[in-house]
């Protein structure tokens, strides 16, 4: 299912803003239209570039004319309108701005930089300077570390790498659990947008990597987590938020049961309904089922009772999920978690998008039969980040994306929290190495995620009428020696490295 | 770094790859028709590399191929010298041991041929690896250059006793004052040891002649100096003596810019400046002027992009480090990264990153071949495709700077050590070959439990009808 087919926020305020904006634009156009007629001040032209349209088509000696933030013309050997700003680069190629359909965005760029010496931090922790309310030691990454002893003895924390915090590794390198709401394992009423910092340097990192639009994904700490958001990585601030609340994220597997360590509380505290967490996949599936089952009862006006009843705000969102108004994503890595997701969603007649799907190559038949789209990635053999501690990544393979595409499963590629040499453009580069054609790979990071996010009218292709979110590369895109040199968001050049 | 597939497969692969000394391998091999990147000299679009008795005997467009040579058709492929890893601790069981000053250690004792790192190195086209201890030391121990083939450290070794590792950056738990004081004390103690040894040798020489000692200690020390032979040194001091006499290389690690001056002055003070290779952490680029002035070869840390945050404004500045060295004309060697990144572990990708950031292709390719060879003192045999050099050659499916290119064949000293179409592990990772599944002994016919076993099956239909069937079977058997 293409998620968010009706996820345009229908709140009255936004409608009002939209109508106000329409009036304003009409006024501006009316007054300035006459003055600007004939002038090409707002026009930018990319000349003599190889255009990778995004759907597999390639235009040699392409010319792309951008006007008022939109793509006005695309074709081979077109004439350059006079007075327009010309951007050219010998041997360059143009792609749509890349779209990461499952990006984990670092909320702040200063969080990871602890300016105390590591020894001081350990001493502070030991003396209880920062003890979480549910017990347990809180690392400098803010997360409640299950490996309490390792913090205390100065060994490396598996979640944040503490005590090896170094200033240079702040930006976009660590995932912060500021986007993981730990109050309950069913929290679809929360929105990840509320904890996203649009000024975070992570967005600059993304932009430099050629990514212009991201679905900000909530962390996988809860069973049914927050609603994601779609934001642009650059451009005018007023234009940055594309969708305030997107799909609801759910997780199958190890991560939502990691909070179950809270069930082993220090002496003096007791496990109760307020702090009990699932510790196994059975528990995770139970929470998922109970939440949706209780929502269905709530919807019918029946009494909701028993343990682990989701909150009313949560159920109000989940009933829209059951109705198909709010899309559902499920992150599952292992084969049995993927099959469980299909089974669980099937119990409620729900369509969903599968996320990460490390072992998708073992479930191709089931994915094909249910028509489940997949947001696959990142590509790895030695799992980066906190995945390594989930024991779910042992059977990762390099051909999974190729297998998914060959089986005809609609698949988008994501880099999730990885940046720089493992960012989305490089994920595409890896995919090419492991057997995916350039045409397919380009689609996986442009047209397909645009479709999955319901934004195919606006972005994802270099074609007339779409937003001018474009990336100019100094060579063939997704190659070892090429990188984004010019990045344009909404017709505005936000990065230009042609001299550097 | 864990691998999921069985060790047995790994050993099988190593066995399959390791050429035995007496195996019949072709004495002459001609790699014909490929694009040749010799590193020294111009690239040849279509040519031949002739290998005879493990050495390169011809490189060029029109090479006369002997009638008895095995001709390998590499048309459409690229032939280049085997790449060289100039500094790696990954073949050892631990990077450093606890003792700070340990010049008597030798990586030979810790070298583990079964490490997957060596298999990966071969797969990635690295034919020479400088195995050396890590940075967490004062004086770390003796390194050696190995090939990534062989079942024992002896089989793997290409050049023993290449260099001593020193670190100016303090050992963990220590600080720079203590580190430099330790160096001073070490060399002072070495001087004292040598003087005492000289005195002892003089006394011994007199004893042999039956004479009595007539001079004072100072005079005896002077007279005995020339009587010392290399066998007289104890383990603890032997390598230090060699170091101070320029008979060993010195790989000196500097972590921050200030360490560079300390490293160079240490080298000058104790006689190993002309054998010093600087191993530089990211922040050392700020001392580029001193580095250039020293003229010493440089090995760069695998982290090529350095980000620095301005403590006042919070603004982040990015520096692509090899560019600083390339612009200054300093010859540098790149290292493969040991982090989880899929791309940075390839030396040729690190070179591609350099080209991406404005460094010339020639310089980038040199930094993974001839520059590390020079830094290691093995450039008479490795690092380029030149007549007379050892035939360590890599055949790639395309240009080394194109990330979609794969290593197809690897020759080490003229012996074909790797072929991609026979690489089982790679096939499995790429989903091209299913791993062998062992069959059960009785072909799985008997799926019933022994008679009388209590079955723990629920009669709910959650698991489907199967549980009912098996319980029915049990009832049948009973009945």
Shortest Cα distance from B47 to chain A (angstroms)?
25
Q: What is the pLDDT along chain B (479 residues), one digit of tens a residue?
A: 444 444 444 444 444 444 444 456 778 999 999 999 999 999 999 999 999 999 999 999 999 999 999 999 999 999 999 999 999 999 898 888 889 999 999 999 999 999 999 999 999 999 999 999 999 999 999 999 999 999 999 999 999 999 999 999 999 889 999 999 999 999 999 999 999 999 999 999 999 999 888 888 888 888 888 999 989 999 889 999 999 999 999 999 999 999 999 999 999 999 999 999 999 999 999 999 999 999 999 999 999 999 888 878 878 889 999 999 999 999 999 999 987 788 999 999 999 999 999 999 999 999 999 999 999 999 999 999 999 999 999 999 999 999 999 999 999 999 999 999 999 999 999 988 655 555 554 444 444 555 555 555 554 433 333 444 444 444 444 43
Most B-contacting residue of A480, A483, A484, A495 (CB-CB within 10 A), to test interface: A480
List chain A residues with CB under 8 Å of B1: 382
Give the minimum alpha-carbon distance from B344 to chain A in angstroms, rounded to a whole number.
7
Q: Are A212 and A98 in contact (CB under 8 A)?
A: yes
Cα of A430 to nearest chain B Cα, Å: 8
CATH number 3.20.20.140 is the correct assignment for the domain at A98-105+220-459: yes
Q: What share of chain A is helix, strand, coil (3-state, %, to 5)?
A: 35, 20, 45
Q: What is the mean pLDDT of residues A126-152?
A: 43
Going by pLDDT thresholds of 50, 70 and 90, the confidence category of residue A107 is: low
Listed by number, the residues of chain A in 104-123 with a beta carbon closer than 8 Å to a beta carbon of chain B are 109-110, 113
How many C-beta atoms lie closer than 10 Å to residue A108's C-beta? 18
| Contact between B202 and B220 (Cβ < 8 Å) | yes
Q: Would the CB atoms of B403 and A433 count as touching at under 8 Å?
A: yes
The gap between the terminal CA atoms of chain A, to the nearest Å, is: 43
Please state the rounded mean pLDDT for residues A135-146: 45
C-alpha–C-alpha distance, residues B243 and B375, integer Å: 16
Residues of chain A with CATH 2.30.40.10: 40-96+462-500
pLDDT band at A24 (very low <50, low <70, confident <90, very high): low
What whole-number distance in Å separates Cα of residue B104 and Cα of residue A415?
46
CB contact (8 A) between residue B341 and residue A170 = no
- Stretch 264-303 of chain A: residues touching chain B, C-beta under 8 Å: none
Band the pLDDT of A185: cuts 50, 70, 90.
confident
Q: How many CB pairs under 8 A join A and B?
A: 86
- In angstroms, the separation between the Cα of residue A395 and the nearest Cα of chain B is 7
Query: CB distance B356–A383 less than 8 Å?
Result: no
Query: Does residue A5 surpass a pLDDT of 50?
Result: no
Window 373-402 of A, Cβ < 8 Å to B: 379-384, 394-395, 397-400, 402
Give residue-wise pLDDT tens across range A369-412.
Answer: 999 999 998 999 888 776 776 778 889 999 999 999 999 999 99
Superfamily of domain A40-96+462-500: Urease, subunit C, domain 1 (2.30.40.10)
Closest CA–CA distance from residue A438 to any residue of chain B (Å): 11
Collect all residues with Cβ–Cβ distance below 8 Å to B124 and sequence separation of at least 6: B83, B336, B345, B346, B347, B348, B407
Q: Where in chain A is the domain with CATH 3.20.20.140?
A: 98-105+220-459
Q: List C-alpha distances in Å: A331 to A198, A341, A404, A424, B179.
A: 25, 9, 16, 18, 50
Query: Does A422 contact B308 at a Cβ distance shorter than 8 Å?
Result: no
Q: Which residues pair with A16 in a beta bridge?
A: none
Instruction: Search chain B and give the residue with CA nearest A473.
Output: B356
Angle CA A290–A291–A292, to nearest 5: 95
Contact A380 B342 (CB under 8 A): yes
Indicate the burial class of B148 (C-beta count within 10 angstroms; 0-12, 13-18, 19 or more). buried
Residue A63, C-beta contacts closer than 8 angstroms, at least 6 positions apart: A45, A46, A47, A48, A49, A73, A74, A75, A76, A77, A78, A79, A80
Alpha-carbon span A27 to A386, nearest angstrom:
52
C-alpha A306: how far from chain center: 35
How far, in Å, CA of B248 to CA of B275, rounded? 7
Cα angle, residue B229 at apex, residues B224 and B230 outer, rounded to 5°: 140
A400 touches A358 (CB < 8 A): yes
Going by the DSSP 8-state scheme, the letter that residue B455 receives in this structure is: P
- What value does the mean pLDDT of chain A take? 80
Cβ–Cβ gap B307/A480 under 8 Å: no
> How many CA within 13 A on the CB side of residue B228?
20
Is residue B171 a contact partner of residue B136, using CB atoms and an 8 Å limit? yes
The answer to whether residue A426 neighbours chain B at the CB level (below 8 Å) is yes
- In the predicted structure, residue A238 carries a pLDDT above the cut 50: yes
Q: Which residues of chain A make contact with B356, given a CB cutoff of 8 A?
A: 474, 480-483
Please count the residues of chain A: 500
Displacement of CA B169 from its chain's centroid (Å): 21
Distance CA B468, CA A300 (A): 36
- With vertex at residue A465, the alpha carbon angle to CA A460 and CA A466, rounded to the nearest 5 degrees, is 20
For B4, nearest residue in chain A (alpha carbons)? A394
Nearest CB among A402, A420, A480 relative to B403 is that of A480
In angstroms, the CA A107 to CA B28 distance is 61
Q: What is the DSSP string of A95-131?
A: EEPEEEEEE---S-SSTT---S-HHHHHHHHHTTTTB
- The verdict on a CB contact (< 8 Å) between A481 and B305 is no
**Residue A378 preceded by cis peptide, ω within 30:** yes
Average pLDDT in the A254-264 region? 60
Q: Are A43 and A83 in contact (CB under 8 A)?
A: yes
Of B340, B343, B356, the CB nearest to A384: B340
Is the CB of A432 less than 8 angstroms away from the CB of B308? Answer: no
Q: Which residues of B make CB contacts under 8 Å with A?
A: 1-2, 4, 282, 305-309, 314, 316, 339-344, 349, 352-353, 355-356, 358, 401-404, 406, 428-432
> Given strand B249-254, what is the order of strands in its sheet?
B139-142, B163-167, B249-254, B276-280, B298-300, B332-333
Encoded tokens for A114: 């602890």
Closest-CA residue of A relative to B397 is A433
Taking the Cβ of residue A430 and every Cβ of chain B, the question of whether any pair is shorter than 8 Å is answered with yes
Q: How far is A457 from chain B (nearest CA, A)?
A: 33
pLDDT for A161 equals 52
């Amino acid at each position: 299912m293409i998620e968010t087919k009706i996820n345009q926020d229908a709140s009255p305020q936004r409608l009002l803003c939209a109508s106000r904006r329409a009036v304003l634009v009409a006024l501006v156009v009316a007054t300035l239209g006459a003055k600007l007629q004939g002038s090409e001040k707002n026009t930018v032209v990319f000349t003599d570039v190889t255009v990778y349209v995004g759907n597999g088509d390639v235009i040699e000696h392409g010319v792309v004319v951008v006007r008022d933030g939109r793509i006005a013309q695309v074709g081979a050997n077109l004439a350059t309108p006079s007075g327009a700003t010309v951007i050219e680069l010998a041997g360059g190629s143009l792609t749509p701005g890349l779209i990461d359909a499952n990006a984990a965005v670092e909320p702040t760029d200063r969080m990871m930089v602890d300016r105390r010496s590591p020894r001081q931090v350990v001493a502070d922790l030991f003396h209880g300077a920062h003890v979480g309310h549910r017990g347990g030691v809180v690392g400098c990454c803010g997360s409640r570390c299950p490996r309490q002893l390792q913090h205390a003895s100065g060994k490396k924390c598996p979640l944040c790498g503490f005590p090896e915090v170094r200033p240079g590794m702040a930006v976009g390198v660590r995932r912060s659990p500021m986007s993981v709401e730990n109050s309950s394992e069913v929290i679809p009423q929360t929105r990840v947008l509320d904890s996203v910092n649009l000024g975070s340097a992570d967005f600059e990192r993304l932009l430099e990597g050629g990514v212009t639009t991201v679905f900000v994904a909530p962390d996988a700490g809860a069973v049914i987590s927050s609603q994601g958001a779609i934001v642009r990585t650059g451009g005018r601030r007023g234009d940055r938020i594309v969708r305030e609340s997107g799909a609801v994220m759910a997780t199958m597997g190890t991560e939502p049961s990691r909070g179950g360590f809270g069930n082993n509380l220090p002496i003096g505290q007791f496990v109760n309904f307020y702090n009990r967490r699932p510790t196994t996949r059975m528990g995770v599936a139970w929470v998922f089922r109970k939440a949706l089952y209780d929502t269905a009862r709530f919807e019918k006006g029946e009494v909701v009772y028993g343990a682990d009843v989701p909150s009313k705000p949560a159920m109000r969102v989940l009933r829209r999920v059951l109705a198909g108004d709010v899309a559902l994503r499920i992150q599952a890595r292992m084969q049995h978690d993927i099959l469980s997701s299909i089974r669980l969603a099937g119990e409620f007649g729900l369509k969903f998008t599968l996320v990460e799907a490390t072992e998708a190559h073992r479930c191709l038949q089931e994915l094909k039969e249910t028509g489940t789209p997949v947001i696959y990635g990142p590509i790895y053999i030695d799992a980066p980040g906190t995945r390594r501690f989930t024991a779910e990544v042992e059977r990762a393979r390099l051909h999974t994306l190729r297998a998914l595409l060959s089986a005809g499963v609609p698949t988008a590629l994501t880099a999730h929290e990885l940046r720089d040499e493992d960012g989305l453009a490089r994920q595409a580069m890896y995919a090419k190495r492991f057997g995916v054609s350039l045409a397919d790979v380009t689609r996986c990071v442009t047209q397909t995620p645009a479709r999955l996010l319901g934004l195919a009218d606006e972005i994802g292709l270099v074609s007339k009428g779409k937003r001018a979110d474009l990336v100019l590369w100094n060579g063939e895109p997704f190659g070892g020696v090429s990188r984004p040199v010019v990045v344009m968001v909404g017709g505005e050049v936000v990065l230009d490295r042609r001299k550097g | 770094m864990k691998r999921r597939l069985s060790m047995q497969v790994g050993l099988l692969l190593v066995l399959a790859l390791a050429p035995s000394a007496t195996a019949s391998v072709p004495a002459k091999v001609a790699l014909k028709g490929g694009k040749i990147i010799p590193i020294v000299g111009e690239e040849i679009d279509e040519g031949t590399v002739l290998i005879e008795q493990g050495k390169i005997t011809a490189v060029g467009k029109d090479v006369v191929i002997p009638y008895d040579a095995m001709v390998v058709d590499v048309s459409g492929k690229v032939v280049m010298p085997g790449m060289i890893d100039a500094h790696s601790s990954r073949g050892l069981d631990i990077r450093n041991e606890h003792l700070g000053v340990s010049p008597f250690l030798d990586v030979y004792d810790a070298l583990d041929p079964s490490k997957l790192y060596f298999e990966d190195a071969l797969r990635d086209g690295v034919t020479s690896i400088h195995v050396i201890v890590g940075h967490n030391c004062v004086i770390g121990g003796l390194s050696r250059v190995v090939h990534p083939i062989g079942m024992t450290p002896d089989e793997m070794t290409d050049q023993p006793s290449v260099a001593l590792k020193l670190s100016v950056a303090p050992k963990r738990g220590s600080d720079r004052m203590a580190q430099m004081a330790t160096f001073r004390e070490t060399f002072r103690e070495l001087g004292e040891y040598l003087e005492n040894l000289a005195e002892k040798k003089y006394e011994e020489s007199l004893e042999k002649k039956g004479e009595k000692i007539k001079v004072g200690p100072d005079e005896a020390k002077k007279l005995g100096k020339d009587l010392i032979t290399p066998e007289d040194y104890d383990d603890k001091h032997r390598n230090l003596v060699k170091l101070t006499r320029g008979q060993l290389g010195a790989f000196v690690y500097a972590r921050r810019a200030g360490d560079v001056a300390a490293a160079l002055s240490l080298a000058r003070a104790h006689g190993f400046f002309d054998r010093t290779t600087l191993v530089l952490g990211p922040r050392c680029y700020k001392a580029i002027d001193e580095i250039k002035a020293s003229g010493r070869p440089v090995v760069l840390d695998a982290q090529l992009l350095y980000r620095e945050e301005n403590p006042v404004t919070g603004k982040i500045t990015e520096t692509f480090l090899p560019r600083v060295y390339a612009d200054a004309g300093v010859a540098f060697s790149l290292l493969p990264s040991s982090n989880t990144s899929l791309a940075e572990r390839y030396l040729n990708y690190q070179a591609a990153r350099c080209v991406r950031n404005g460094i010339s292709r020639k310089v980038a390719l040199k930094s993974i071949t001839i520059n590390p060879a020079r830094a290691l003192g093995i450039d008479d045999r490795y690092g380029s495709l030149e007549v007379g050099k050892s035939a360590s050659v890599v055949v790639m499916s395309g240009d080394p700077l194109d990330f979609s290119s794969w290593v197809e064949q690897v020759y080490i000293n003229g012996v074909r050590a790797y072929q991609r179409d026979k690489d089982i592990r790679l096939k499995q990772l790429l989903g091209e070959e299913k791993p062998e599944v062992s069959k059960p002994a009785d072909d799985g016919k008997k799926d019933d439990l022994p008679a009388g076993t209590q079955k723990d099956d629920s009669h709910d239909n959650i698991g489907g009808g199967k549980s009912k069937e098996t319980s029915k079977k049990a009832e049948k058997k009973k009945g």
